[in-house]
Amino acid sequence: MNKKVLAINSSKRKKNTYKLLTDIKKQLEDINIDVDIINLYDYTIKECLGCESCILKNQCFLDDDMDMLMSKMQEYDGIILSTPIYLNNVSGRLKTFFDRTCRWVHRPVLAGIPIMNVVSTAASGIKNTLKYMDNVAIQWGAFPTDGISRKVTTIKKEIQPKEYQNFVKHLMMPKELYKPTLNQLILFSVYKVLALKIMKIDTDYWDEKGWSDKNYFFDAKINIFKKIIASRFYKMLYKKVNKA
Residues that bind ligand FMN (CB under 6 A): 11, 13, 15-18, 84-88, 120-125, 152
Closest chain position to ligand FMN (CB): 84
User: Contact at 8 Å (CB) between 69 and 111?
Assistant: no
Residue by residue, DSSP assigns 79-130 as EEEEEE-BTTB--HHHHHHHHHTTHHHHS---TT-EEEEEEEESSS-HHHHH
Report phi then psi at 97, rounded to 5.
-60, -50
CB of 10 to ligand FMN, least distance (A): 9
* Residue 35 vs 85, nearer CB to ligand FMN: 85
* Residue 91 vs 145, nearer CB to ligand FMN: 91
* Residue 68 vs 122, nearer CB to ligand FMN: 122
CB of 21 to ligand FMN, least distance (A): 9
* Residue 125 vs 144, nearer CB to ligand FMN: 125
CB of 98 to ligand FMN, least distance (A): 17
CB of 145 to ligand FMN, least distance (A): 21
* Residue 74 vs 88, nearer CB to ligand FMN: 88
Alpha-carbon gap, residue 171 to 1, rounded angstroms: 13
∠80-42-44 over CA atoms, to 5°? 105
Helix (H) or strand (E) holding 135: helix 126-139
Phi-psi region of 50 (alpha: psi -120 to 50; beta: other; left: phi over 0): left
CB of 130 to ligand FMN, least distance (A): 13
CB of 115 to ligand FMN, least distance (A): 19
* Residue 13 vs 232, nearer CB to ligand FMN: 13
